[in-house]
């Protein structure tokens, strides 16, 4: 199969490429923003520069690669950043999705299939927990709104028969390689600095009085593959564990695993203006495609700490 992955150098993208490369039978084109600095890597993946907000860039890549499958992962993924840069978030997440779909249409690739990575943030403060996919979309954040708009664009193309589109609504994916802008990698890095004596044994956190559905990214990308291969066009699938956990509990476990004995301190500067109190997903629809969770949370947290140790300079 000819496969295009947008946002291939991102957190989920790197794990997805590893998953797709295991078979060795796909022709994979990896699109990344800016200069990629390479052409083909050791796995045989071909890298290209791709700006999904540019119709010219997007159409050129799609025309050249002729993808049968498109995993559309490119996007602005930080809720916090979306409050600081709402217009950029919209352009990348919503307009970028339109550019990719329109390029497929313009190139006559109506038989292609696209997986659109959305987010549980589209649900907002949902009354029903765990949240099933038919729940109305009522986003509370600029990020959630941009993903809801991307879903509407994808659904319109699917209903019109222009491109097959399946939607993955990801809950909180975590694991090695995640950017420090996100809460658990940020805390893991703090703990490593504390462990090495570079900081006082105080872990500065934001609002921990929330409950989230955490899923290892390696299970998450396996979910993407299952949705792409067996999902129904026009439908959305929650990519989640089905188990909500208090963030306070998860952070306490991370501190315990670090062996630092750090004291948890709430930092007002880290508290979001809008924070959904509970988000727990119902993965029944995804499980019906033959997917199941394989990586326990304890293992994910251990891997997160190991990754933070590898990425944090010895001098702090």
CA distances from 250 to 97, 168, 187, 191, 247 (A): 33, 24, 11, 14, 5
Amino acid 34: pLDDT: 85
Mean pLDDT of the region 123-137: 96
Average pLDDT of 136-162? 97
- Mean pLDDT computed over 283-306: 97
pLDDT digits (tens, 9 = 90+) for 86-96: 999 999 999 99
pLDDT at 315: 64
**Alpha-carbon span 1 to 4, nearest angstrom:** 10
Helices (H), the chain: 11-21, 55-65, 79-84, 86-90, 96-106, 142-159, 183-195, 217-230, 247-258, 284-287, 297-311
Q: pLDDT category, 166, cuts 50, 70, 90?
A: very high
> How much is the pLDDT for 316?
52
Question: Distance of CA 41 to CAs 37, 47, 78, 178, Å?
Answer: 11, 8, 28, 21
Q: Give helix 247-258 / helix 297-311 axis angle, nearest 10°.
A: 60
Q: Is the pLDDT of residue 127 over 70?
A: yes
- Greater confidence (40 vs 210) lies with 210
User: What pLDDT, on the 0 to 100 scale, is given for residue 41?
Assistant: 82
pTM across the whole model: 0.95
Average pLDDT over residues 136-150: 97
- Domains belonging to the chain, first-starting first, are 2-173+214-239 (3.40.50.720), 176-212+243-279+294-311 (3.90.25.10)
| Residue 227 pLDDT level (bands cut at 50, 70, 90) | very high
Q: How far apart (Å, rounded) are the C-alpha atoms in residues 139 and 116?
A: 17
Say if residues 22 and 39 touch (Cβ distance below 8 Å).
Answer: no
Render the burial of 23-36: b for 16+ CB within 10 Å, e for the rest. Answer: eeebebbbbbbeeb
Would you say residue 274 has pLDDT above 90? Answer: no
Q: What are phi and psi of 40, to 5 degrees?
A: -135, 130
Average pLDDT on 24-38 reads 85
Contacts of 42 (CB under 8 A, 6+ apart): none
Task: Look over the chain and give the mean of its residue pLDDT values, rounded to a whole number.
Answer: 95
Percentage of the chain lying above the pLDDT 90 cut: 89
- Report which of 12, 166, 174, 144 is spatially closest to residue 82, judged by C-alpha positions: 144
The mean per-residue pLDDT over the stretch 70-83 comes to 95
Contact between 242 and 291 (Cβ < 8 Å)? no
Q: What is the per-residue pLDDT for 43?
A: 82
Q: Tell which residue, 133, 115, 120, has the closest CA to residue 287.
A: 133
């Amino acid at each position: 199969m000819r496969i295009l992955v947008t946002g291939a150098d991102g957190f989920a993208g790197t794990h997805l490429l590893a998953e797709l490369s295991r078979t060795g039978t796909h022709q994979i084109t990896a699109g990344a923003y800016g200069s990629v600095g390479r052409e083909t890597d050791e796995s045989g993946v071909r890298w290209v520069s791709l700006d999904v907000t540019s119709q010219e860039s997007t159409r050129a890549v799609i025309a050249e690669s002729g993808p049968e499958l498109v995993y559309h992962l490119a996007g602005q993924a930080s809720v916090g950043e979306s409050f600081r840069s709402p217009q950029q978030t919209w352009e990348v997440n919503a307009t970028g999705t339109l550019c990719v779909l329109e390029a497929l249409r313009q190139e006559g690739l109506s038989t292609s299939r696209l997986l659109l990575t959305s987010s549980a943030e589209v649900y907002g403060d949902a009354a029903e927990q765990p949240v099933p996919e038919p729940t109305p979309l009522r986003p509370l954040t600029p990020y959630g709104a941009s993903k809801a708009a991307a879903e509407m664009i994808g659904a319109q193309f699917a209903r019109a028969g222009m491109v097959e589109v399946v939607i993955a609504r990801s809950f909180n994916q975590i694991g090695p390689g995640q950017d420090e802008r996100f809460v658990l990698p940020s805390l893991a890095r703090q703990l490593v600095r504390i462990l090495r004596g570079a900081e006082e044994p105080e872990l500065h956190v934001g609002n921990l009085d929330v409950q989230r559905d955490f899923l290892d990214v390696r299970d998450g990308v396996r979910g993407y593959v299952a949705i792409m291969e067996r999902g129904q066009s026009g439908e959305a699938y929650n990519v989640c564990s089905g188990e909500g956990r208090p963030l306070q509990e998860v952070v306490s476990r991370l501190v315990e695993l670090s062996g630092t004995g750090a004291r948890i301190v709430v930092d007002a500067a880290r508290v979001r203006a809008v924070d959904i109190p509970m988000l727990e997903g119902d993965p029944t629809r995804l499980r019906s495609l033959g997917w199941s969770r394989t990586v326990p949370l304890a293992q994910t947290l251990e891997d997160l700490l190991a990754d933070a140790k590898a990425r944090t300079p010895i001098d702090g």
